[in-house]
Amino acid sequence: MRSGSVKGFLTIAALLSLAIAVTIHFPYILDFFANNSDEGRSFHRYTPDLSHLFGHLILTWIIAFMMFILNLFILKPLEKNSHVKPLSVILAICLTLASVYILNKVSFPIMNLFEGEIRSGRRRNFYDYANFFVSALVVGSVIIIRLINQKQNVLLEMEALKREALQSQYESLKNQLSPHFLFNSLTALKVLIREAPEKAQDYVNSLSAALRYTLQSNEKMVVTLKEELEFMSSYHFLIRKRFDSNLVIETEIDESLTSFMLPPLTIQTLIENAIKHNEISKRKPLTVRIMTTKNDSLIVANDIQSKLTDEEGTGIGLTNLSRQLRMLADRDISVSRDHNRFVVEIPLIKP
């Protein structure tokens, strides 16, 4: 058992012991205050003074607390995995009753010292019964504490397993996105080497900077919108080398939302999706609009300019983004499409 857990249990045991002592002697507490008021009257023939009442409470508290300590080792309420066994409960009851019987023999003479008088047999029986009732309350309390503790441990273990599963899935998604970006970049570089060799060197330098961001972002589950937009400057240079002025990227960003979070490479993935599925030429330049909304979302929209032969994709873009947002924020992306416009809305995560 961990020392911190034992310390917490003993603190709870001390407070519960005090509550039990007050509950057991509550009629005498009422008698005490009634006897000391002008209009009050005692509920019993015997009315304790302050020292007697204090003695009752202290001895009952000690007995209850000792029973809690005894059952800490018998019922083991701090155990994480094992269930409460009937044999343990029976053993706890028997040992507790035996211990209370012995404590009654020892403590009753002490109570006589407090009272300053010899008690009758009826008074002795009441004292014994009260302490046996105390023991029953203690055993019940310890069993409840153990059940609560086990339930909390089960919930914590389930949450830990859930986090591990989500982390594993997320890492798998990120490992897919990096090759996806590299594949598209190398494809563009191949085209440049064939069609415009003089631009290939600048493209390689920008590609190096972009890949550096990609590798760094793979160490994070989320990045800020500001970081994504800064990366877009380098990425825009890369795709501008390939498409020249035929691809236009327009941004309209609320500065108050730049600290909000989203999965790494979200914007780049959506722009790649637009490039992959739309014609981009001098005859049909493509405009991609990136903007924020009043409901804390990011929108990436483009006109639909279907190709005669659609480019085959890897099939991980929008699907992965959707799965990442569900894991990270329990929200999903929104995709809408009509005859002229394709819009993807990404919910931003509050920092």
17 and 142 co-located in one domain: yes
86 and 222 co-located in one domain: no
User: Which pLDDT does position 179 carry in this prediction?
Assistant: 66
How does strand 286-292 pair with strand 247-252?
Answer: parallel
81 pLDDT band (50/70/90 cuts)? Answer: low
Element (H, E) at 336: strand 334-337
The answer to whether position 176 is within a domain reads no
User: Which pLDDT does position 118 carry in this prediction?
Assistant: 44
220 and 282 co-located in one domain: yes
User: Which pLDDT does position 120 carry in this prediction?
Assistant: 47
Arithmetic mean of pLDDT, 315-328: 77
91 pLDDT band (50/70/90 cuts)? Answer: confident
**Whether the predicted pLDDT of 134 surpasses 50:** yes
The answer to whether position 181 is within a domain reads no
Arithmetic mean of pLDDT, 178-205: 75
User: Which pLDDT does position 262 carry in this prediction?
Assistant: 92
- Structure confidence by residue, pLDDT tens digits, 100-125: 778 777 776 766 665 554 444 445 66
Most distant pair of Cα atoms in the chain: their distance: 113
The answer to whether position 184 is within a domain reads no
Query: pLDDT: is 265 or 14 the higher one?
Result: 14
Positive or negative torsion for Cα 65, 66, 67, 68? positive
Task: Give Cα separations from 57 to 23, 24, 45, 48, 97 (angstroms).
Answer: 10, 9, 19, 12, 20
* Token duo for residue 17: 């012991």
User: Which pLDDT does position 3 carry in this prediction?
Assistant: 59
Global pTM value: 0.49
51 and 108 co-located in one domain: yes
121 and 232 co-located in one domain: no
The answer to whether position 166 is within a domain reads no
Query: pLDDT: is 277 or 261 the higher one?
Result: 261
Query: How many domains does the chain divide into?
Result: 2
Positive or negative torsion for Cα 236, 241, 245, 246? negative
Q: Give the end of a domain, one of 136, 159, 182.
A: 159
- Structure confidence by residue, pLDDT tens digits, 270-319: 888 888 888 888 888 999 999 999 999 999 999 888 877 665 555 567 88
Query: pLDDT: is 40 or 257 the higher one?
Result: 257
User: Which pLDDT does position 345 carry in this prediction?
Assistant: 94
Work out the number of other CB atoms within 10 angstroms of the CB of residue 113.
Answer: 8
The answer to whether position 15 is within a domain reads yes
87 and 204 co-located in one domain: no
10 and 111 co-located in one domain: yes
Average pLDDT over all residues of the chain:
78
The answer to whether position 179 is within a domain reads no
- Structure confidence by residue, pLDDT tens digits, 335-344: 998 778 899 9
Work out the number of other CB atoms within 10 angstroms of the CB of residue 117.
Answer: 10
User: Which pLDDT does position 42 carry in this prediction?
Assistant: 47
CATH number of the domain that residue 293 is part of = 3.30.565.10
152 and 258 co-located in one domain: no
Query: pLDDT: is 115 or 132 the higher one?
Result: 132
Winning range, highest mean pLDDT, from 100-109, 146-155, 177-186: 146-155
235 and 148 co-located in one domain: no
Which range of residues forms the domain containing residue 230? Answer: 196-347
What's the CA gap between 339 and 166, in Å, rounded?
A: 37
